[in-house]
């Protein structure tokens, strides 16, 4: 099996793409490639151009916010099967957090410029992609709310 | 024990039966605290501690069901309900994990090894560990909510062969707020358990997961149609955990929650802990979720 077929197979097996038509899956596979990162590497940094999104095949990635003169805060961690990144959908297409690799991680990277080029001419592709991203965005918002209200309550530091 | 899983059983029936299970030594004087001595005090978290208690006169042990609670009396300060968090197979030592959040729990905080406090109980309903035999068991705990679930975990581990897949999903505020961390790590190392932990916030030093506890359920590891789920934590966390369990196909009549309210008499007289038609002290604290779902939706009950 050549690399392209392998990528197409991995994409089709992923829940995110599984229910798409074979034609759309092939379109998307045109924009895909495999990537590998070691622990401690950054996939991207806040403010950099968001020209990709990723399917995590294996490993863990921490999305972090840097706060001057403090340790970075981990907003969430993403793991096998998760989708990383939707800043590529929102102008001006800049990452809003750092993505730090926590352990050896293999991903499928999808080239956003390639996808944006395709979906400008193909509303069906745009619809199918957005339909899958919106629940991810909604879940992220819901999780943020729960983290914000601090459900477990602040510990009282005692002697 | 009556079947908690039987939807036709009136609530009062199983609660009265489960009360009988708890032994009858307190039956004659349910309002009279029995003196217990603190055998050991262990600091768990910055505001949370565990007391190991033995009867001051050494006379008896206190059989309990997983999920039941005792009223702990800090002499001169008052009484509070605290779930039992020890091993039901070893009731000779009574174990309570307590978070110091108010005057009475702070008075308990100040007690030292050798000091005496009063105990009434055990009270309330059990986690449905007998009904769950033959099913997968999913335990979803948040924060201090792991303490009332620990007896159920011990029970399932004591009789591991009677259950299907067993998952423990735990969420805490930060890595420093993970209760029973050493024990969770030990359980995580077992081949016959799925244990996953997440925290709401962390800095780069934490190598584990960050995110809300409901995300752990996405990992699966259980058959939703053959699962009994036990959920305990802050009410809002339970609400989201139940929603997530539903999304994964677990029905409300297979989900059990432990409710917390300010209990006073603990024997269903005073009405302090009323939740709609129920008194949490005797009809709960463990409820099958479909029975209290309508009450769960009401604000400020």
| CATH (domain of A15) | 2.60.120.10
What span, in angstroms and rounded, lies between the C-alpha atoms of A89 and B180?
42
The per-residue pLDDT for A157 is 62
Is A157 inside any structural domain? no
Is A158 inside any structural domain? no
Nearest CB partner across the interface for A155, out of B177, B200, B208: B177
In order of A83, A94, B40, B176, B290, the CA distances from A44 in angstroms are 15, 10, 50, 28, 46
How would you classify residue B231: left for phi > 0, otherwise alpha for psi between -120 and 50, otherwise beta?
A: beta
A147 touches chain B (CB under 8 A): yes
Residues in A touching B46 (Cβ below 8 Å): 155-158
| pLDDT tens, residue by residue, B194-240 | 999 999 999 988 999 999 999 999 888 899 999 999 999 999 999 99
**Above 60 in pLDDT, residue B15?**
no
Residues in B touching A157 (Cβ below 8 Å): 46-47
pLDDT, averaged across chain B: 88
Q: Which residue of A has its CA nearest to B216?
A: A79
CATH number 3.40.50.80 is the correct assignment for the domain at B127-258: yes
Is A98 inside any structural domain? yes
| pLDDT tens, residue by residue, A48-98 | 999 999 999 999 999 999 988 888 899 999 999 999 999 999 999 999 999
In B174-233, the residues whose Cβ lies within 8 Å of chain A are 176-177, 198, 200-212, 215, 233
Query: Which residue, among A16, A76, A97, A142, would best test binding to B if mutated, counting the most B CBs under 10 Å from its CB?
Result: A76
Q: What is the mean pLDDT of residues B92-104?
A: 94
Q: How many domains does chain A have?
A: 1
What span, in angstroms and rounded, lies between the C-alpha atoms of B158 and B237?
28
CATH number 2.40.30.10 is the correct assignment for the domain at B22-123: yes
The token pair at A144 is 């943020």
The answer to whether the CB atoms of A155 and B210 lie below 8 A apart is no
B116 touches chain A (CB under 8 A): no
Query: Which residue, among A66, A142, A147, A152, would best test binding to B if mutated, counting the most B CBs under 10 Å from its CB?
Result: A152
Query: Which of A104, A66, A47 has the alpha carbon at shortest distance from B203?
Result: A66
Q: Could you tell me if A64 and A74 are in contact, meaning their C-beta atoms sit under 8 angstroms apart?
A: yes
| pLDDT tens, residue by residue, A100-151 | 999 999 999 999 999 988 888 899 999 999 999 999 999 999 999 999 888 9
DSSP-derived letter for residue A49 is B
Is A156 inside any structural domain? no
Q: Which residue of A has its CA nearest to B46?
A: A157
**Above 50 in pLDDT, residue B285?**
yes
3-class secondary structure, A78 = strand
| pLDDT tens, residue by residue, B172-190 | 999 999 999 999 999 999 9
What is the strand order of the sheet B202-203 is part of? Answer: A42-44, A98-101, A60-65, A73-79, B202-203
pLDDT band at B298, cuts 50/70/90?
A: low
Q: How far is A122 from chain B (nearest CA, A)?
A: 32
What span, in angstroms and rounded, lies between the C-alpha atoms of A29 and A7?
7
Instruction: Let me know if B45 is exposed, middle or buried by CB neighbors in 10 A (0-12, 13-18, 19+).
Output: buried
The per-residue pLDDT for B27 is 52
Nearest CB partner across the interface for A72, out of B47, B142, B203: B203
Nearest CB partner across the interface for B46, out of A75, A77, A157: A157
Q: Which residue has the higher pLDDT, A79 or B27?
A: A79
The per-residue pLDDT for B265 is 86
The answer to whether the CB atoms of A147 and B212 lie below 8 A apart is yes
The token pair at B134 is 């033959």
The answer to whether the CB atoms of B233 and A151 lie below 8 A apart is yes
Break chain B into its structural domains and give their ranges: 22-123, 127-258
Q: Which residue has the higher pLDDT, B7 or B87?
A: B87
- For residue B46, the tally of other CB atoms under 10 A from its CB is 14
Nearest CB partner across the interface for A71, out of B177, B204, B211: B204
Query: Which of B73, B105, B38, B233 has the alpha carbon at shortest distance from A156?
Result: B105
**Above 90 in pLDDT, residue B130?**
yes
ipTM for the predicted complex comes to 0.90
Contacts of residue A22, defined as CB under 8 A and 6 or more positions apart, other chains included, come to: A12
Residues in A touching B233 (Cβ below 8 Å): 151-152
In this prediction the pTM is: 0.89
**Above 80 in pLDDT, residue B16?**
no
Boundaries of domain holding A87: 3-149
| pLDDT tens, residue by residue, A149-158 | 889 988 876 5
Q: What is the enclosing helix (H) or strand (E) of B258?
A: strand B255-258
Query: Which residue, among B200, B217, B240, B244, would best test binding to A if mutated, counting the most A CBs under 10 Å from its CB?
Result: B200
Is A71 inside any structural domain? yes
In which residue are the tokens 């009265």 written?
B16
3-class secondary structure, B22 = coil
Q: Which residue of B has its CA nearest to A65?
A: B203
Residues in B touching A75 (Cβ below 8 Å): 210
């Amino acid at each position: 099996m050549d690399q392209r077929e392998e990528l197409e197979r991995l994409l089709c097996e992923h829940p995110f793409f599984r229910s798409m038509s074979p034609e759309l899956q092939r379109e998307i596979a045109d924009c895909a490639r495999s990537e590998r990162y070691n622990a401690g590497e950054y996939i991207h940094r806040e403010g950099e151009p968001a020209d990709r999104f990723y399917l995590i095949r294996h490993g863990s990635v921490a999305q972090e916010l840097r706060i001057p003169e403090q340790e970075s805060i981990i907003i969430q961690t993403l793991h096998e099967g998760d989708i990383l990144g939707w800043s590529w959908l929102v102008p001006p297409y800049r990452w809003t957090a750092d993505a730090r690799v926590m352990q050896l991680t293999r991903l499928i990277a999808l080239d956003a410029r390639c996808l944006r080029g395709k979906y400008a001419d193909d509303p069906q592709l745009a619809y199918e992609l957005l339909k899958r991203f919106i629940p991810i965005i909604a879940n992220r918002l819901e999780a943020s709310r729960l983290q914000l209200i601090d459900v477990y309550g602040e510990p009282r530091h005692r002697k | 024990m009556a079947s908690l899983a039987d939807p036709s059983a009136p609530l009062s029936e199983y609660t009265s039966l489960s009360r009988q299970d708890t032994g009858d030594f307190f039956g004659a004087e349910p309002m009279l605290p029995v003196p217990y001595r603190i055998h050991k005090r262990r600091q768990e978290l910055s505001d949370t501690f565990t007391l190991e208690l033995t009867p001051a006169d050494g006379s008896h042990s206190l059989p309990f069901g997983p999920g039941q609670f005792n009223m702990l009396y800090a002499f001169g300060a008052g009484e509070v309900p605290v779930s039992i968090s020890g091993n039901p197979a070893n009731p000779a030592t009574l174990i309570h994990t307590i978070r110091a959040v108010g005057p009475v729990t702070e008075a308990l905080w100040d007690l030292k090894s050798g000091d005496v406090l009063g105990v009434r109980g055990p009270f309330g309903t059990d986690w449905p560990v007998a009904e769950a035999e033959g099913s997968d068991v999913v335990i979803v705990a948040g924060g201090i909510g792991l303490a009332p679930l620990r007896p159920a975990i011990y029970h399932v581990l004591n009789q591991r062969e009677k259950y299907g897949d067993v998952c423990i999903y735990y969420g805490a505020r930060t890595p420093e707020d993970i209760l029973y961390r050493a024990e969770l790590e030990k359980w995580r190392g077992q081949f016959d358990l799925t244990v996953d932990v997440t925290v709401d916030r962390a800095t780069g030093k934490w190598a584990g997961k960050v995110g809300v506890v409901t995300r752990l359920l996405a990992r699966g590891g259980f058959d939703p149609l053959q699962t009994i789920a036990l959920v305990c934590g802050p009410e809002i966390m339970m609400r989201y955990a139940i929603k997530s369990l539903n999304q994964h196909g677990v029905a409300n009549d297979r989900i059990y929650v432990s409710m917390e309210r300010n209990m006073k008499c603990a024997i269903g007289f005073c009405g302090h802990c009323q939740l709609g038609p129920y008194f949490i002290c005797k009809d709960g604290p463990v409820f099958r979720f479909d029975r209290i779902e309508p009450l769960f939706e009401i604000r400020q009950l």
